[in-house]
Amino acid sequence: MKLSGSKVSKNHSTHIDVAKPLLTFANKNVNVTKISLGIIQTIQKVGQKSIKLSVESGCLLLKIRGVRSIQEIRLFTSDVEKLKIDLLPVLKKERFKIVT
């Protein structure tokens, strides 16, 4: 699937299906200034959808795992902690397993 909008980095616009609700949230969230989609890695082992959140300089890194793929997505913001708090209800609603 492709994502578009003023916040989306133009280098890469394809995302895995399980990331769609998170990207919809990020595109609408006023604290997100830019969305950078990483490459999609296909994996052989079937697994459940999960996410790992990591704080980087000026952004929140989401490592999202689908059934057979993984993608890194960076959400750039001036307030990473606020963004994490805002994102948690979406993760809960979409039943993501949060990996530490």
* pLDDT tens, residue order, the chain (100 aa): 455 566 765 566 689 999 999 999 999 999 999 999 999 999 998 889 999 999 999 999 999 999 999 999 999 999 999 999 999 999 999 999 999 8
* Model confidence, pTM: 0.87
CA distance 69 to 4: 21
Pick from 88, 46, 54, 90: nearest CA to 72: 54
Exposure pattern of 11-29 as b/e (b: 16+ CB <10 Å)? eeeebbebbeebbebbbeb
The whole-angstrom separation of Cα 73 and Cα 79 is 17
Q: Distance of CA 64 to CAs 6, 33, Å?
A: 22, 20
CA distance linking residue 96 with residue 72, whole number of Å = 15
